[in-house]
Structure 1
Amino acid sequence: MTTRTRRSSRRSEALSRERIIEAAIELLDADGEAGLTFRVLTARLSTGPGAIYWHVANKGELLDAATESVVAAAVPLDPAGSARSPREEIRAVALGLFEAIDGHPWLATQLATQLSRSPWGSVTPRIFEGIGRQVRALGVPESGWFTSTSALVHYILGAAGQNAVNGRTAQPGVDRGEFLDAVSTAWEELDPDDYSFTRAVAGQLRDHDDREQFLAGIDLVLAGVTAIHPPDGQRR
C-alpha cells in the first residue's frame, strides 16, 4: 500500500501544470525552442501526450506559460520588507530581468513576441508594474508615467536581449575576454579619419563589464527621466 501511494504521489506531481512548465523550461534552456516538442516532453515526464494536453493546449500556450513563470520569479511585485529607494528598486528589477534573459537564452525572443503580439497577457503588465510603481514613487508626474516606464522597459529588454545574443554568437571555443580583445583590436585598426570615435573607445570595449555597463545605462535613463519630469515639489 505504501509503495502504491508513493507511485501515485510521484505520478500526480509529474502531471501537474507546474511540473510540466518546469520540464519545458529545462528543455528550452538545454536546446532552445526547437528542442521543446510534446514528444520530448512526454519522454522527459514519463507520461503520455494526453496527460500534458489536459494542462496545456499547444506549444504556444506552453511557451507563454514558461515565459510567465520565469518573469514572475525575476520581477516580484511585492518585495517583502524592502528598504530600497525607488531608484534602487528599478535597478533591482532591471538586473533581475537581465540575469533571467542571460540565464534563459530563449527568453528574449519570447518576451519580444509577447510584448508585440499579446501585451494584454500577464507578462507585459507585470514588467510594466514592476518598473512603473517605482517611476511613480520617484515623484514623476502622472503625465510622464507611461513614457518614462516605456523608455526603461525598452532599454532593459533591448540591452539584456542584445547581451544574450552576443553571448551566443561569440565564436565557439573563444571566451569572452578573447572575443572582446579581438573586436577591440579590429576597431583600433580602423581608418582614423573615418572612425576616430570608434578607435578612441576600443579600449573601453575591451575592458567593460556587461552588468556594470547595463546598470550604467539604467542610471542614464533615470537621470533623463528625473531631469525631464522632476517631482512636483522640485518644479520651477
Structure 2
Amino acid sequence: MSQYSFGIHAVQSLLEREPKRVRGLLLQQGRKDKRIQQLIDLAKHHRIKIRHLDRKELDQMIDGVHQGVVAEVEAVQIRNETFLEQLIQQLEVPPFLLVLDGVTDPHNLGACLRTADAAGVQAVIAAKDKSAPLNATAVKVACGAADTVPYVVVTNLARTLKQLQAAGVWITGTAGEATQLVNEASLTGPMALVMGAEGSGMRRLTRENCDQLVKIPMAGSVSSLNVSVAAGVCLFEAVRQRNG
C-alpha cells in the first residue's frame, strides 16, 4: 500500500532516514534550486525513480502545500496492542509514552508525533475511534517523526491504560480542572502522559483510569493551549525531571 509524503523537509527526511520506503519522487517542472537539487542527488544515490509533473497535476494529487515535492512511499506502519505489550517488555529504560484521547485533527497528530520524537517518547498511543488518521498531512507535519516514533492504535483505550498500569506504568492525565500543576507532579519513572481533545478534554473512562491529573499554569486570558503545544510543555517538564 502506498501513500504520499510531501513538502521539502518531510521528503528530505524520508530520503535520508528511510530511502527504502520511497518508491518514487515527483517534482514540479521548472523548479531548479539548491534544495531541490539536494533531493535529486539523494534520489539518484538511492536509485529512486524521478518524474517531473506540472503544478496542476501535483495540486490534484495532494491536499496541502507540497512545495513542488511529492514522494510516493510505502504507508507508515500502524502498530497494535501486541506491539505495545512487546515494547514495554523489551524496554531497557522506564517507559515514557504519550496517549492521545480524541485528537482528531491530522495536523495535531503530526505535531504531537514531532514533539514526542524530540522528547524521547517511545510510542504514541491512540484509540481506533475518534482519532486522527496517520495520513499524508499528519506525516508531513511530523517532519520525519512518523517514521521514528511508533504510532499505536488500540481498540479500547481504557483497557490499554489498565494494562499499562498492571505493567507498572503511572498514568498522568491533563485536565484544566486539576488541582496539581504539571511542574509540581512527579513525572519520573515509568509513565504515560494522556492528552485529551481541545475543548472536551479526556473522555470519562480515560479520566477514571488516570493515576493523577495535572494542569498547565496559565497566566493570560486564554483558557487552553493547542494540544501539541500542551503536550510539549508537559513532556519536556517530564524530560527535565527525568534528566535531573
* Fold equivalence (TM over 0.5): no
Asked which structure has the greater CA Rg, the reply is 1
More strand, by proportion: 2
* TM-score using structure 1 length: 0.26
Q: Greater share of helix residues, 1 or 2?
A: 1
